[in-house]
Structure 1
Amino acid sequence: MHAHLSPAGPRGRDRRPTPGGDAGTPARPTPGGDAARTSARPTPGGDAGTPARPTHRLAGPLALALPALLVACTADRPAAPPPPTPTPAAAGMDAARDELAALAAAAQDRRLVANYTLRAPDAPDRTVVVTSANDGTWRVDIPGGALGGTADVSFAATTDGLYQCALPSAARPEPPSCVRLGDPDDAVPRRLDPRVQHPFTDWLDVLTDRRAPLAVSPAQPPPGASGTCYSVETTSASINAPLDVGIYCYDRDGTPTAVRTAAGTLILAGTPAPAPATVQLAGPVVDREPLGTAAPEPADSASAATP
């Protein structure tokens, strides 16, 4: 028996069976094979014959354009305005308001008996007596404060109420008598109000109230007056202003030294005296009509003079 040997060479190696395969199956191409097959391999999601697009061609233009877009957006945005700077005049008015409020608060606690010279147009000088007692009651005597300047009156607030008292005078020599007007904190009716007592009483509450519609600025004292003075204006258009505009002056301890309003000019005369424990009414309380500020008609003069 003769053995047949296969000829050696490439043909014999190509027909050698691969592990687990058929003897006649050609061998698979190894990596790094034909270049044409590699270039023809389809990209994910693309056509088999379309080569992959290089991404670095878009990255360059975008990197150059993005800063320009950001600069353009920033340039179009308006700049925030700077915060307003308070003017020196406004700051000075605020300081004056604080100073006046502090002095008025000290005046509320000031207890004294003081004389003031009242100067008004077309009238002789008069002496107004202000009493602020230790218990918080007060009394202000006003010569010529009623009946067109022909009658002297006194306004007083005690623990029992608010009173107007008629004082003896040359034009009205009757004994003093008083009429109750209301509770201690009530306002004096306008037809009876000479407006001289307010700077020592209820207007002090307005001057200490920072919510009151007031404009305050430093001012020079009226002639013959002393103390620290302030010009006070109202910023409200209401006809019922909280106080009369004018000049208000105070000593460092809160003593009112001068007031100038439409009613006249009050100037402190002399050194205040110590305050009493409480105020006393000028006369007994009677049942009659109070005295108004307007001058009476000739026919009413006799009846007004009767207590």
Structure 2
Amino acid sequence: MRRAVLSLCLIAACWSVSACGGDTPETTPTSAAPVSTALPEPAGARAQLAARAAAAKDLRQVAMYTFKSPKRPDRRVVVTRAVDGTWRIDVPGGAHGGAVDIALVFAANTLHQCALAAGNHPYSGCVKINGALPAKADLKIQHLITDWQNMLTDRRLAIAVAEVAPLPGARGKCYSVESSAASMTLPLDAGIYCYETDGTLTAAKVAFGTLLLEGTPGLAPPSVQLPGPVVPGNPLPLNAPPSPKPSTSTSASPSPKA
């Protein structure tokens, strides 16, 4: 009797294991929640601005801006940052009090100021700049895509940063930048800087004027080229040169009466 009961138990146990499949049961795969590859934005206005300025260093694009400056009509500035690291900034009326269109071009590891053929300046020519542009010829626009980006990422620089309301028409986030030491002069213009998360500068309001991005930046070219031959000389100044004084001629003087 015991032997019969034992046999029945073994049969039942085997049947139970068989019904469960014996091996570890397969489970239907479930799709895991998507993992975001975007890095979270750092906390704090200064850290956020530094992150966006750092991203700007790697951008390669063609961007157009409306440029507003005191006592001048609005102008369209084109900023080209090529794939190979060369860049060009076209500024209508950028020299001689608005009489000459210019382009600042960084190519062959050298900065050039190029006069563009337009209006009463019928020829193009580029002057090599050794070092920085002299103050009388420096529009400062180029600093927004060169050395000022490095300063905005430098945590040792004594600047105070706060998030502010966006400038009219600006996208992304805007940050005010000023000196955090009353006795210290900043190596960049205090003002408001606006960036997208990818580093695109969408607006800037600084001492020399206001820039506002137009539309969406386009694809960058492989490289930029000088728009004219390299010529000797000095960069054209921002202001118009003084008008030459009329020469006086002794022959035009009235003859004394006898």
Give the shorter-chain TM-score range. Answer: 0.7 to 0.9
Aligned residue number for residue 72 of structure 2: 123
* Aligned partner of 1:113 among 59, 62, 74: 62
After superposition, where does 1:217-236 map in structure 2 within 5 Å? 217-236=162-181
Counterpart in 2 of 1:78? none
Distance 2:110 2:184 in 1: 29
Aligned partner (choices 139, 148, 172) of residue 194 of structure 1 = 139
Alignment-mate amino acid for residue 143 of structure 2 = H
Counterpart of 2:216, as a letter, is T
Please state which structure has a larger fraction of its residues in strand.
2
SS in 2 for 1:105: helix
Deviation at 1:139, TM superposition (A): 1.1
Q: TM-score, normalised by structure 1?
A: 0.63
Greater Rg over alpha carbons, structure: 1
Aligned counterpart in structure 1 of residue 225 of structure 2, from 280, 284, 289 = 280
Q: Using the alignment, how far apart are the partners of 2:236 and 2:88 within structure 1?
A: 17
Query: How many angstroms apart in 1 are the aligned matches of 2:106 and 2:179?
Result: 27
Equivalent in the alignment of 1:214: 159
Any idea what SS the aligned residue of 2:50 has?
Answer: helix
Tell me the number of residue pairs that the alignment of Structure 1 and Structure 2 aligns: 202
Look up the match of 2:123: 175
Structure possessing the higher relative contact order (Cα contacts under 8 Å, 6 or more residues apart):
2
Q: How do residues 148-167 of structure 1 correspond to structure 2 at under 5 angstroms? A: 148-167=97-116
Q: 5+ unaligned residues in a row in structure 1: which ranges? A: 1-93, 301-307
Larger helix percent: 1
- Give the percent of matched residue pairs that are identical in Structure 1 and Structure 2: 51
Superposed displacement of residue 294, structure 1 = 2.2
Alpha-carbon shift at residue 159 of structure 1 (Å): 2.4
SS of 2:141's equivalent?
Answer: coil
- Amino acid paired to 1:173: H
* Counterpart residue number, 1:246: 191
RMSD of equivalent CA atoms: 1.6
Matched position secondary structure for 2:151: helix
Aligned partner of 1:204 among 119, 129, 149: 149
- Contact kept? 2:65, 2:77, Cα under 8 Å: yes
